[in-house]
Amino acid sequence: MSLLDGSIRRRDFLKGSAAATAAVAAMGLMGCAPNGGSGEGSKQSDGNGMNPHVVESDTAILEENGEWVTVDCWGNCGGRCINRVFVSDGVVLRQKTHDDFEDSVETPQQRSCPRGHQIRQHVFNVNRVKYPMKRKSWQPGGGENAHGELRGEEGWVRISWDEALDYVAQELKRVYDEYGPRSVVCMGTDWPVLNLLGGRLQWNGTESYGNWYNAPIRMGGNIGGGLPDCMLSNDRLDLQNADTIVFYGMNPTWHSAGNPMYYYRLAKEAGTEFVYVGPEYNVSAGVLEARWIRVRPGTDTAFLLAVAYEMIRLDGESGDIIDWDFLHTYAVGFDAESMPEEAELDENFQAYVLGEYDGTPKTPEWAAEICGTPLEDITWYAQEMQKSKNVMLLHNYAPSRYRGSIDLPQLFLTIACMGGHLGRSGNAVAATFSIESANSGTKLVKLGDPAVGGVKIGAGVTSVVVAKNTLEYSQLPKPTIWKDMDEGHYTCYGDYRNGSPDNGWVKEDGFLPSKEFDFDPKIIVNDYHNPLQATEDINRGIKVFKKMDMVVNIEYRYTLTSQYSDILLPCFTAWEGNLDPDQGDLQVATNGIMRLSRAQCNRDYALFPRPAVQPLFETMNESWIYIELAKRLGFEASDVYGVSDMQAYFNKIAGAQVMDEDGTTYKTLVTIEQEDIDAWGVEGEPQQGEISLKELLKQGYYQVPRTADDNHSFFGYKDFIDDPEENPRSSASGKLEIYCQSKADAINWLGFGPEQLKPYPTYHTTTYEDSFADWEAREKGTHPFIMYQPHYLRRAHTCFDEGAWIREAWPNPLFISVEDAKEKGIATGDTVLVHNDAGKMLRIASVTNTLMPGCVAAPHGPRSYIDLETGIDLGGNENMLVDHKTQDEFFPQCDAYNSCLVDFEKYDGEPLALDCMFEPALWIEEE
């Protein structure tokens, strides 16, 4: 619910900020009046029932009484599209996307998606946290003083920044002194002040990547820009050279909105055929007229093993299916002739598929019973993988967010190797995720290091944070975090991201064995993330929050995590700040990992957004908050950050580079004058580049035009395929490892799995089989439906979901197959109760014939509105039903949350309204 809703009293929201008053008043001119009405500043109907919707602020734009500013869109969707706002006298009057030049294939406009179109509703939303707040009954000292039982259920009192920071510093010192660093759990990203106090506990989970993170480097793949299996596909101009493009578990129309679907449509127009593999025929498949290969959720390993079987059978019958030269030159472990030297088992993949070790050939008949794929589709897919075709096998990570998917990444690569579909035009096998979607390869424009020599954290993000977390065994597996905190016991298996070139868990590289701890968590701190809403098992999470001595949340909006906190510290958004010395202190939002510091853009261009408005209300930058806390605890600003926000911002721009026309070397992008350095009060040297700083900031981006014959083409694995001796892969053998001893050793060394993992991909029991009380008798269990959670165009995880426009455009459905809906007596529009042992939620049914029976799809990320009497979540958050039982059986950090078993029925209570009609979830200030 946004300020554009006329039912919200602007007067109540605006007090305390003249700048914000002007901003929201201007926004109010844009849309409160219904069609044909006479809202403030609007012109009357033209007599034909049409409202031309010309308002007073149009004059400012037409007369250029202001400027268009390129702003950041910080949602974690990966699009990193161009959004612009028209600012006049510090007020945002309009928003648009990229329209600088005529759109073309070579130099496309970087158009934003609906999430970006409505981001102003997010910045100027009624749920902004305006000033520091304290939960009414909370007091420092712990125990009964915290009144934890009232968290989430009582109002707030406004306090000063000094009071808020004093409270937080006082409680941190008390808990560290009395209980130690394992009693402080950081759910956010930074909080570097905790590292100065001795470290903190933090979650560790593969929530985006599932099982795709545990093996790529070991088996010869890549962790590109921190993303598994990325920077291994081909660039966008090569898509049209494929005969076939496979979308495996992908829906870029929703999860990577912006330009990717445009690039795929161009390939379709050029004659490329598309195939979609997954449990539902999604929007992307429909747009591209893709052939649908039906595979039940989480059963992809069975399907692909049968595809391998059919490729072997078809090649034996007629030849020309499998590229044997490729397998014996570039890969190891497919058959007995290609085993690696370090192999400890005298077993190979081909023999396993043919059933030589377990007596079960992986035939289409065997697989179809599990994956539900028609036999003819399995055979057709195998034929489509033949070596004579140009095939791009592109995947997202959703299929690996299931129990039983531990070998899926290796198997996916194996199928590509069998057809030789790597390292050449029209052929690829890779993730196409986030900024890598539809346009992979070495960046043509890249930003400078904000820390100039800083360290890497998270997904390849350069950090300016000085103090690092030195607490050993500090990682709690994310799938079980609420359970572990509730029970006061956790087992640490290390950090899945960190490690040597083979990506961790290798004994000789000094990784520690797993270790158990009893602990007594007392404080939860968070920044920007929304862990209570976005993490499995909300009900148990609320229980944990209520047990804490203190919960602190740094945020700009009132989220579910904010609701169950004690101290709210409001930060400003990436739209807010100031680069004009005449307007006050210079400041930019650079520290939050989801904001400018991530700086994700697609291959062709880089964004250089800048602040559009002064910080609203009493919000402060996160860095200021951490520094002020550090001071109260006896530290200096330099103990927290190596450089200032403005220096980091300058460094990213001054260090930016653009690929030269030769396609191999980089040159300086930005011309910096001494007066630029002096104006920002930063350290640096003048330099010559391709564009001046003033021009760059006015433009807000830099894009490299492409042509079909330029030197910027990129083909994943090409160097290796051209010369495998000079360009070996990162695996132990230097080749692509279908038999990967390192992978098996690493997973088995963890000691977490129920059995020893084989070095080659094998079949493991799926969630579908687990849904039966008796699989052999095909007797269904208590919760017989698999509920998976697709990403949705309406939001990026939980971000951007508050906008009224986008809620109206994309409701919050539960997708149900026609067959299952008929059996349950449910029609589209009915309210549905979805439940299991973890919780209950309501959603509105959307019955479709594009979904396989036996599963339901609940788009991920809505806000919870929990009815305290019934425990039912009226907001329909799927994490009410996902709990620790979905943890992967081999990989403890893997969030296999799509392995959620539920039941559902038509709700017999009051029907649920569309959530665009919900009252906004707001903090209530006590008098």
For position 733, what pLDDT does the model report? Answer: 94
The average pLDDT across 365-388 equals 98
Is 50 exceeded by the pLDDT of residue 222? Answer: yes
> Which range has the worst mean pLDDT, 69-73, 429-433, 919-923?
919-923
Dist. CA 195–CA 748, nearest whole Å = 32
Q: 182: which DSSP letter?
A: G
| Locus of tokens 């450089």 | 643
CA distances from 817 to 113, 272, 769, 849 (A): 28, 30, 19, 6
Q: What average pLDDT is seen over the chain?
A: 88
Is 60 exceeded by the pLDDT of residue 521? Answer: yes
Angle made by CA atoms 612, 613, 616, in degrees to the nearest 5: 145
Angle made by CA atoms 208, 212, 213, in degrees to the nearest 5: 80
For position 53, what pLDDT does the model report? Answer: 56
Structural tokens at position 319 = 């030849």
Is 80 exceeded by the pLDDT of residue 443? Answer: yes
For position 78, what pLDDT does the model report? Answer: 66
Is 90 exceeded by the pLDDT of residue 177? Answer: yes
The average pLDDT across 210-222 equals 84
The average pLDDT across 253-281 equals 93
Is 60 exceeded by the pLDDT of residue 513? Answer: yes
Note the pLDDT tens digit of each residue in 14-46: 233 333 323 322 332 222 333 333 333 333 444
Amino acid at position 150, single letter: L
CB atoms within 10 A of CB 183: 18
Give the pLDDT band of residue 927 (cuts 50, 70, 90): low
Give the pLDDT band of residue 593 (cuts 50, 70, 90): very low
For position 121, what pLDDT does the model report? Answer: 87
Is 80 exceeded by the pLDDT of residue 75? Answer: no
For position 56, what pLDDT does the model report? Answer: 67
Pairing of strands 475-477, 201-204: parallel
For the chain, counts of helices (H) and of strands (E): 30, 42
Dist. CA 225–CA 619, nearest whole Å = 32
- Pick the closest to residue 182 from 204, 203, 205, 199 (CA basis): 199
Q: If DSSP codes are grouped into helix, strand and coil, which group holds residue 568?
A: strand
The average pLDDT across 606-626 equals 93
For position 12, what pLDDT does the model report? Answer: 36
For position 205, what pLDDT does the model report? Answer: 87
Is 90 exceeded by the pLDDT of residue 180? Answer: yes
Partners of 543 in the beta sheet? none
Percent of the chain having pLDDT more than 70?
A: 89
The average pLDDT across 703-722 equals 95
Is 70 exceeded by the pLDDT of residue 666? Answer: yes
Dist. CA 251–CA 254, nearest whole Å = 6
The average pLDDT across 89-113 equals 89
Model-level pTM? 0.91
C-alpha of 824 from chain center: 34
For position 599, what pLDDT does the model report? Answer: 52
> Which range has the worst mean pLDDT, 51-60, 221-230, 463-472, 742-751?
51-60
Give the pLDDT band of residue 512 (cuts 50, 70, 90): low
Structural tokens at position 601 = 């853009």
CA distances from 173 to 200, 205, 473, 580, 640 (A): 13, 28, 22, 38, 17
Give the pLDDT band of residue 544 (cuts 50, 70, 90): very high
- Cβ–Cβ < 8 Å for 838, 882: yes
Kind and range of the H or E element at 629?
A: helix 622-632
Q: At what angle do helices 364-371 and 300-318 cross, to 10 degrees?
A: 160
Note the pLDDT tens digit of each residue in 202-214: 998 888 889 998 7
More confident residue, 80 or 883: 883
Write phi, then psi, for 827 (nearest 5 degrees). -125, 160
